[in-house]
Chains A and B, each alone.
Chain A
Amino acid sequence: DGGITQSPKYLFRKEGQNVTLSCEQNLNHDAMYWYRQDPGQGLRLIYYSQIVNDFQKGDIAEGYSVSREKKESFPLTVTSAQKNPTAFYLCASSIGRGYNEKLFFGSGTQLSVL
């Protein structure tokens, strides 16, 4: 089945630790996105990528980093500079990034601080 896979489902971070969230898609989509969801806050854009080896910051990129070395993969690293990382993280993809492009989401990763 084609789809987008996020792992792990649950992740715990210690103080000062960097953690990486995985996102893989086999939909052959060019564009990929990372959103953060907090209760009552809706989805906020962290980073997005329209093509391999290129990515742009979203509204809340500080404390996060990404890479896009392969079309299928768009991992997100939550660095120790992110002081409030507890949230539900959602990865998404779309065919491209123009008008009329619906997003396909993964099932999310819940990150908590120990």
Chain B
Amino acid sequence: SQKIEQNSEALNIQEGKTATLTCNYTNYSPAYLQWYRQDPGRGPVFLLLIRENEKEKRKERLKVTFDTTLKQSLFHITASQPADSATYLCALDMGKTALIFGKGTTLSVSS
């Protein structure tokens, strides 16, 4: 079965630095990979989507890469701010059923 792993449960960085979160998957490459942000006690909010034939996608301070050879996606937040502190979820989009979510990485940005 398809598995998805987000390497770090928690990531602590200082304000202004770049946060890099990792998402690895096994078996088949998804057609798409999606990233969501979740704040405590709230539902996830969609951030970015990247197709398998796209190397990189950007949105403001966010950047996502997708390497189908390594079966990995990296999610970067540049010039991080304390307001970026949240849990970030990676999800595989196989197009057949529902999204397959990773366990998430909790990012803490200290000032």
Interface residues of A in 26-42 (CB under 8 A from B): 33, 35, 40-42
CB neighbours (8 Å) of B31 from chain A are 99
B43 to A107, Cβ gap below 8 A?
yes
Q: Are A58 and B98 in contact (CB under 8 A)?
A: yes
> Which residues of A are at the interface with B, using a C-beta cutoff of 8 A?
6, 33, 35, 40-45, 48, 56, 58, 88, 90, 92, 97-108, 110
Q: Is B44 a contact partner of A103 (Cβ separation < 8 A)?
A: yes
Q: A104 to chain B: closest CB distance in Å? A: 7
The answer to whether B97 has its CB under 8 Å from any CB of chain A is yes
Interface residues of B in 35-69 (CB under 8 A from A): 36, 41-46, 49, 51
B95 touches A42 (CB 8 A): no
Say whether B46 contacts A43, CB under 8 Å: no
Residue ID in chain B nearest A46 by CB atoms: B98
Residues of B within 8 A of A99 (CB): 31-32, 93, 95
Contacts of B45 in A (CB 8 A): 105
**Chain B, residue nearest A102 (CB):** B46
Chain A residues near B95 (CB-CB < 8 A): 98-99
Interface residue range, chain B:
20 to 34
> Which residue of the partner chain A has the closest CB to B41?
A108
Chain A residues with CB under 8 Å of B51's CB are 100
Q: Which residues of B contact A56 (CB under 8 A)?
A: 97
| Shortest Cβ distance from B51 into A: residue | A100
- A105 and B97 in contact (CB under 8 A), knowing A99-B31, A99-B32? no
Known contacts A42-B89, A100-B49, A90 near B98 by CB under 8 Å: no
Whether A104 contacts B101 by the Cβ 8 Å rule is no
Give the complex CA separation of A70 and B100 in angstroms.
26
> In angstroms, how far is the closest chain A Cβ from the Cβ of B102?
6
CB-CB under 8 A from B34, the residues of chain A are 102-103
Are A103 and B97 also in contact (CB < 8 A) when A40-B9, A42-B104, A108-B41 are? Answer: no
Known A97-B97, A99-B95, A103-B44: A42·B49 in contact at CB below 8 Å: no
Residue pair B43, A90 in contact (C-beta under 8 Å): yes
